[in-house]
Chains A and B, each alone.
Chain A
Amino acid sequence: MKRLRSLLALSILAPIFAATATTARGEESFTQICEKVNPKLVKLFGAGGFRGLASYGSGAIVSPDGYILTVNSHILDTQDLRVHLSDGTPYHAKVVAIEPELDVALVKIGDNKNKVEDLPYFDVVEAAKRPPVEPGTGVLAFSNQFQIATRDEPMSIQRGVVASYSKLAGRIGIFEATYKGDVYVVDAITNNPGAGGGALTTRKGELLALIGKELRNELTNTWINYAIPVSARITVSQADGNPATVSILDILEKKEKYKALTPPKKNEGPGVYTGIILVADPVERTPPFIEDIVPGSPADNAKLQADDLIVYVDGILVGDIHAYNDVLSRYHPNQTVKLEIQRDRKLQTISLKLDKPKTKKAPDKK
């Protein structure tokens, strides 16, 4: 037992001194690990940019021909998803697969015109074979948090210790997290804006997990720093009552052919009922002008009017109809939101009590 204890102490202290300790053993320093890991990571740029929602993220290259694993987040919700490789080369990217149950997504750069080959990448199949590392293990985190790096600048590196390997129970804002499987919880503050999709590695730079989103712990309301293991798999019961199991490896294997268990939510608009009818949304970034109000609806009760422009929803700037729908979709019926609207060139605040979504009437078949 004595030997075991000393081993334990070593495993705790070792990560703290790892840089020099490993160098002394003829292994790589953290600086060398950075140089090795960084080319396998990309910077992602997409939707977002309004308050609290970053328009950038991180991703891990998982094949030499340009498949990139990242977290499923709002930044993918755009026609103009862009990727910068570690040397600064810019690419347009398309989303290949999204699995909300795992909270991960696969995107791809390169096509026939702009072929991508021979990229450095993480071998996820190999990585998924390794057993999870134990709590107390020193780890490194690489991401483009806060978009500190641009172009060919290297990702941020942080060091930490695995605090636990456990089930995730968190929430994003007022949302429950979609993924409820195993995660690494770390003692470093890794899950900052834009860090999602970055790499959590061993202190040798071997991929362990994808850094997750910004989440708060449901019980304590504190921010949680977690990463989704590359070996993640989860079993969920489907609409037909049968359980189905999915894993990150399934997504990587099937790629374009992968069908998500729960199809990602399309922009279906508010999950609550307001009675606000917005103007048509023919172009991107149409501002949320009210076209009409349904009589007797919550909006009518709140004395909203046609031609009002909705500027803020609970303090969040809604620059366009898309942003408005996105923000409102996070509320539940019976919640009250504070809208700031512009009417006759003046801002005013209006409280709006949300209602249950109206059950759709039978489609008007003709």
Chain B
Amino acid sequence: MIRTFDPRWLFAALIPALLVAAFSVRGDDLDPRILKMERERIEVIKKVQPSVVAVLTGGGSGVLIDEEGYALTNFHVTEAARSPVMKCGLPNGILYDAVLVGLDKVGDVALIKLLPKKPGDKFPFAKLGDSDTVHAGDWSLAMGNPFLLATDFTPTVTFGLVSGVHRYQYPAGTLLEYTDCIQIDTSINPGNSGGPLFDMKGELIGINGRGSFEKRGRVNSGVGYAISINQIKNFLPQLKAGMDTDHASLGFRVETDEEEGRLLSKLVVKQIITSDAQRRGVEVDDQVVSFAGKPIGSVNQYKNILGLYPKGWRLPFVYRRLNEKKQTETHETLVRLMGVQRQELPQPGQPGPGPGPGPRPGPGPRPPVPSSPASKLYEAKAGFANFHFNKSEQERLMKAFRKHGDFSKASGDWGIRTSGTLYAGVGPRGKRIVADLMVRNKGAKDRQNDLIQAIVDGLDYSMEPLGDEEKQSTRSDPPDSGGLLMAFYQYRQLLIHGTKGFASACSHGGVEPFYPPREGQTKPDYAKMRVDAEVLRTSHASVSGKWYFSKQNDDTAGQLLGFEIWLDREKDPCEVYLSDYKDVGGDGKLPHRIEVHYGDKVYAVLTVNSWKKEASK
């Protein structure tokens, strides 16, 4: 088949396999720049290699991302393990016990934690890179345990090009959707699943998880995909909180119009369902302009950008609409993302597209959790990957929260006297009012339930939050506030009882963006307003709450920035923004500026003149 060539070219054709030999024979003659690059590559591999994990239970790979032993891998690897406790090997040759921490089934990511051999032992780990700076044509290193070759846990290294970035790969059902992923010609094979993709600085840019396979079988065919590390960063706090996370939908489909010879310019909204986007005024045929600050021009871009964010996040959405004068107007609004997974559990046995481990999750119950030192770190709970980690995150958060004030002894009556400006039903200029809110401990007629009372702008309100006969209309009092009375009651509950104040449910929700309003602002700049906050999700008195705590690395850490109270998940919540914390006696600090929003409107901005909090009689 090969024509007659000068024999040295025959030799050359075989060279890729003989590279090392050729190098050692002719090393002295090589261009110093090539030698330098070779050396640098070897150094990078040496540097990152200790962080590469062989996930033995499940038959895949992983990578350590901090000294505590947290490691990333694929969901489809942990799913194949069929157990929350597993065994992992590190390149030092040591076998470790590990436990499942968090899951992102849609994104095909799992967080696991390796247990140190001695308490306090530190693990080697990889530095997280910035996958948005990766380009097609960049070199990359994939490391892991293809074909489970490494019995001593020394990872295999492959080297190749980034073939494409911002790639979109369809999900299998609603799971394993690869959005905004990195395409590589770096060889990845079964067993590489969950392993790291490094750039040539040795920074982690992705998690290898999938390939395009067809006629050539389930081995490398020149096209592999890695989940971008920037997407994983958004989910990481949720994973660390032991959550079984979900990806997001905006609540509508989009379509492009195709026209011969014209560059498509319009991506329009189709089929909008009951959602926050709809409540914010988005309509069918509106043109999608940007989401989360990123311009969107195609369906794949839309799916790519949406795939980066977890359910529940609130992000700015810009759309364009033809107004009555046939001119386009651009609108910007914050939209709360809804989930993509159906509430019921996914059907097992769906074909996974990954190059991952051989056995697929089959139907049938999971085997019981085997006994392992890691079993102590596992607690099963519906909707969570491992509730043990959620509880420890809650405890850590509450400890930080209590530093700003411990009101656990003030379990009696509470009240605030405020003055400020009411906007609801008044207009943009507002109206000066006084508003007093109070919770009477066991103040209801039956002497068991609590009673909330308020006087707002001269009108009296009262409500029993746990009373059976209460109707929705009084629960959402005062009108147009979304339920300020209920919000005040829930806030007192948190201040007195912490996470224990929410009998129905309480969980840590990871980290989400929060947008405290700025005074005197005409057009909001969401990018500037955004702060990332730790989230606590609660349920009490048939009301769900979402609480946002500062995670600034300063003395405000753990301070409550605000909260949302949902009387009805299909409607808007009452949003309460807290600031101007001041000492209130010996117990700690409480906010003295309270801004209340409902829907797209400001309800009122209130200044607290006094806080009253009493011990239980």
Contact = CB atoms under 8 A, between A and B. Distances in A.
Interface of A: 2, 5-6, 8-14, 16-17, 19-21, 24, 29-34, 52, 87-92, 110, 114, 116, 134-136, 145-146, 148-159, 161, 163-167, 169, 187-190, 192-193, 214, 219, 223
B223 A146 contact: yes
A135 B9 contact: yes
A217 to B, nearest CB: 8
B222 interface: yes
A91 B212 CA distance: 27
Residue of A6, A13, A189 ringed by the most chain B CB atoms within 10 A: A13
B185 A188 contact: yes
Nearest to A220: B1
B34 A156 contact: no
A165 B3 contact: yes
A146 B185 CA distance: 13
Interface of B: 1-3, 5, 8-10, 12-13, 15-16, 19, 22-23, 26, 29-31, 33-34, 37-38, 135-139, 160-164, 166-169, 183, 185, 200, 212, 214-216, 220-223, 258-264, 297-300
A14 B300 CA distance: 36
Q: Would you list the 10 A-B pairs with minimal beta carbon distance, nearest first?
A: A30-B137, A189-B222, A136-B12, A6-B29, A31-B137, A114-B261, A146-B212, A158-B185, A31-B135, A156-B163
Nearest to B29: A6
27 contacts: A6-B29, A9-B30, A12-B12, A13-B23, A20-B139, A29-B137, A34-B135, A88-B263, A89-B261, A90-B260, A91-B260, A91-B261, A135-B5, A135-B9, A135-B10, A146-B212, A148-B169, A150-B168, A150-B299, A151-B298, A153-B166, A157-B162, A158-B222, A164-B3, A167-B1, A189-B185, A223-B216
A87 B16 CA distance: 36
B29 A154 contact: no
Contacts of B222: 145, 158, 188-190, 192
A157 B161 contact: yes
Nearest to A110: B261
Nearest to A222: B216
Contacts of A110: 261
A151 B264 contact: yes
A159 B161 CA distance: 7
Contacts of A89: 261-264
Contact of A88 (B22, B23, B298): B298
Contacts of B1: 164, 166-167, 169, 219
A62 to B, nearest CB: 19
Nearest to A223: B216
Contact of A150 (B3, B30, B300): B300
Contact of B300 (A24, A116, A151, A169): A151
B223 A5 contact: no
A17 B34 contact: yes
Contact of A21 (B13, B34, B166, B258): B34
Contacts of B137: 19, 29-34, 157
A10 B299 CA distance: 45
A149 B298 CA distance: 12
A193 B214 contact: yes
B223 A145 contact: yes
Given A19-B139, A150-B300, A192 B223 contact: yes
B26 A9 contact: yes
B164 A153 contact: yes
Contacts of B16: 12, 161, 187
Contact of B15 (A136, A149, A154): A136
Nearest to B263: A89
Nearest to B211: A146
Nearest to A219: B1
Residue of B136, B167, B215, B216 ringed by the most chain A CB atoms within 10 A: B136
A92 B262 CA distance: 12
Nearest to B256: A151
B136 A157 contact: yes
Contacts of A156: 136, 163-164, 183, 185, 223
A12 B2 contact: no
A21 B12 contact: no
Contacts of B9: 134-136
Contacts of A145: 212, 222-223
Contacts of A135: 5, 9-10, 12-13
Contact of B221 (A52, A134, A192): A192
A223 B219 CA distance: 13
A158 B164 CA distance: 9
Contacts of B264: 88-90, 151
Contacts of A157: 136-137, 161-164, 185
Residue of A33, A89, A193, A223 ringed by the most chain B CB atoms within 10 A: A89
A214 to B, nearest CB: 7
Contacts of B31: 10, 21
Given A21-B31, A150-B298, A166-B3, 18 more contacts: A6-B29, A8-B12, A13-B30, A17-B34, A17-B38, A20-B200, A30-B137, A31-B136, A52-B214, A90-B259, A90-B261, A146-B212, A148-B223, A150-B300, A155-B164, A161-B15, A164-B3, A219-B1
